[in-house]
Amino acid sequence: MLPSARKVEPFVGKLGHAISGELQAAQERLLQLRAQRQASRSEAEGQLVSLFAAETNGERPFPITTPITQLPPHLGWESAAVSRSLRRDNVQQSEVTYATAVSIETAVSHSPTLPKTIKLYPDVAIGLLRQELVAAGRLWLLLQVADVANCGWIEESRARELFTGKRGDLRFCGVRQLRNLLAQGDELFWARQNGRIWLRSTAKVAFALEIPQLKLRPVALPVAVLRQKIGTVRAHLYATFHSSRTQHDQAKKPISRETVKKLTEVNPRTQRRYERKAKVKRQAQFAIGPAATTDNLQARAWEQGQATFQFKDFNGQQGPQGKSYVAWQLPNSYVGPHAPQPKGRQKRINQTLTDLFMQGMTGNGQRLSVTRRFFDNGRLAAKSYLRNSEQDHYWRGRGNGRYQLWQVMESSNLS
DNA sequence: TGATTTCCACAGTGGTACCT
DNA sequence: AGGTACCACTGTGGAAATCA
């Protein structure tokens, strides 16, 4: 167990005082609802995004298309098509199961089904990994899923049915383990009061996880993933980092394993394991330098150690066919398996976070400066190069499916 | 100042069984 | 419900060999 995991404890104590009780919680929730309502229109549009085809290696595949999530139940269900498709997906689920959960502000006729995905902020996901709170954190996420009515609490009995019951739609553990988890995450992820589990807000949880700000945009995590083995859950939590960074297939910026490690505290060795499990796509990148003369090769080799090799241009991508160039491998770029989500309440959560950290006086938001090395075109690269010629600058060149070639503007260290 | 794989060894934990 | 013990499995890092 890492020492950092233990640090969570004192925070829990502070939490109670830092926030003025249920009032603020309630208010927050109202704001959330309002914000969601506003965001919902745009959300509904960008929802259907492909996940990589799930292979059948014994793991449950998750749905290729992700139906609408996170919508307040009183929106959108007028659409017959949507409702129908949702129902079809979930035949067994009767309204009986949810009869208890429905009733906030607007008269909701019924809440249709559990969402198929959940909005997750990668910063939070990484925080869970870092603090070794994945087991309890997963329950927190599933509780959010179960809270269809978005009222902020779940009946404990219902939770037990859903999560442990034979027919439970979100079954993922036994009764016993559920108790353990509930005890484990008490006060941090939720608070229990007369038979109800009151969910803590994202902001408060982020605070407890020592996350100063949510920087990455949220992604859609399939609920099905949350019901799989803890290792798979871990892998996906990690993968949200990459999913969040891949906006369009254009902007696949390379990032080195070392940088990923700095940002996530996941070691390269583990990164690969997670990526395999969560089906993060990787693409190798190569820099193409000058023609492969002995001098050039030596100069580069001197600078980079063993990393250089000769690239033979069979296809004539760079110039005459068959010509050789000095080449070296660059950091990979990645495409995560999760659909990006609108930022939604992110700004507001960050405001709350700032407040919380101010009150707690624990603002040790050490920022990692990562200087940029990769650019979409030569103009931008040159511009940056003028400011800092200490390091190589790369800009996007040709590429085929398997890898991407980059043009290089070599650092002035290289004589 | 790249990436990948495989093999090995170890510690810690998730989840359960069996108690009271 | 909760305490405790137990075990298989998971997560992890190092090293070495190799690739492009």
A83 touches strand B (CB under 7 A): no
CA A237, C1' B9: Å apart? 27
Distance, Å, A289 CA → C2 C1': 66
The most confident of the ranges A24-28, A331-335, A371-375 is A331-335
CA A207 to C1' B20, whole Å? 39
For residue A71, name the pLDDT band (cuts at 50, 70, 90): very low
Q: How confident is the model at residue A393 (pLDDT cuts 50, 70, 90)?
A: confident
Distance A357 CA to C11 C1' (A): 32
The set of residues, in sequence order, having a beta carbon less than 8 Å from that of A193 and lying 6+ positions away, is none
Per-residue pLDDT, averaged over A221-230, amounts to 88
Per-chain mean pLDDT for chain A: 67
For residues A255-261, average pLDDT: 83
Which nucleotides along chain B are within 7 A of a protein C-beta?
1-6, 12-18
Quickly list H helices, A94-229. Answer: 122-130, 134-146, 156-164, 175-184, 202-208, 223-226
| Mean pLDDT score, A29-48 | 34
- Asked if residue A9 has pLDDT above 60, the reply is no
- Of A184, A89, A93, A94, the C-alpha closest to A135 is A184
Look at residue A50 and tell me whether its pLDDT is greater than 70: no
Average pLDDT value for residue range A116-123? 92
Q: What pLDDT does residue A307 have? A: 60
C-alpha distances in Å from residue A58, one per residue of A54, A174, A352, A402: 10, 21, 42, 27
pLDDT class for A29, splitting at 50, 70, 90?
A: very low
Strand pairing class (A403-409; A281-291)? parallel
Q: How far is the CA of A180 from the C1' of C3 (A)?
A: 12
CA to C1' distance (Å), from A1 to B10: 14
User: A399 forms bridges with which residues in the sheet?
Assistant: A404
User: Which is more confidently placed, A107 or A357?
Assistant: A357
Measuring alpha carbon to C1', the residue closest to nucleotide C9 is: A231
Q: How confident is the model at residue A394 (pLDDT cuts 50, 70, 90)?
A: confident
Mean pLDDT, range A207-219, rounded to an integer: 91
Residue A94 has pLDDT above 70, yes or no: no
Dist CA A354 CA A18 (whole Å): 12
Least confident span in A64-73, A209-218, A271-280, A386-395 = A64-73
Q: pLDDT tens digits for A138-197?
A: 999 999 999 988 899 998 888 888 888 777 788 888 787 888 888 888 888 998 888 889
pLDDT of A266 higher than 80: yes
Q: Given a cut of 90, is residue A283 above it in pLDDT? A: no
Return the top range by mean pLDDT from A68-77, A185-194, A398-407: A185-194
User: Is pLDDT larger for residue A339 or for residue A414?
Assistant: A339
Flag whether pLDDT at A77 surpasses 50: no
As a whole number, mean pLDDT of residues A76-86 equals 33
Q: What is the pLDDT of residue A254?
A: 83
Give one DSSP letter per residue of A239-256, joined into a string.
HHHHHHH--SGGG-----
| Domain range summary for chain A, segments of one domain joined by + | 3-248+338-360, 281-335+373-409
* Strand B at less than 7 A from CB of A359: no
Which of A229-233, A331-335, A338-342, A377-381 has the largest mean confidence?
A338-342
> What pLDDT, on the 0 to 100 scale, is given for residue A174?
79
CA distance A304 to A338: 35
Q: Which of A165-179, A187-201, A216-230, A355-369 has the lowest mean pLDDT?
A: A355-369
Nearest residue to A123 (alpha-carbon basis) of A20, A21, A203, A230? A203
Q: Please give the residue that has the higher pLDDT: either A407 or A61.
A: A407
- Segment A402-412 shows an average pLDDT of 68
Give pLDDT tens digits for A310-325: 777 666 667 677 777 7
pLDDT at residue A282 in the model: 82
Nucleotide closest in space to A172 (CA vs C1'):
B15
The three-class DSSP label of residue A43 is helix
